[in-house]
Amino acid sequence: MGKGGFKELAVWQRSKDLAVQIYKTSSSGPLSKDHGLRDQLRRAAISVPSNLAEGDERDTDREAVRFFYIAKGSVAELRTQLQIGLEIGYLE
């Protein structure tokens, strides 16, 4: 795996940009007042690029894959939380 090469990965760049957007979106409006959902969204969003980066920095493929699967799980969490936000009218 590459030392610091994760910044070149399109998936890392896009997931990092999404995390930034979620932080911005959740800082105002009704979502900003729902601390439970807001905090869960933020944690899941930041977990994706963080685990991709950590996996890329691991020494073995086996270790890397473990973190990539954690990132994948965080994506599923995030999708669920965003769907809930849509259905309760916090997001458009």
The whole-model pTM stands at 0.92
So what's the pLDDT on residue 3? 62
Radius of gyration of the chain (CA): 14
So what's the pLDDT on residue 64? 96
What number is the average pLDDT over the span 62-79? 98
Which DSSP category does 91 fall into? -
Domain coordinates in residue numbering, the chain: 5-87
What secondary structure does DSSP assign to 27-81, as a single string?
A: TSSHHHH-HHHHHHHHHHHHHHHHHHHHHHHSSSHHHHHHHHHHHHHHHHHHHHH
Residue-averaged pLDDT of the chain = 95
CA nearest neighbour of 1 among 69, 48, 62: 62
Query: In CATH terms, is domain 5-87 a member of 2.60.110.10?
Result: no
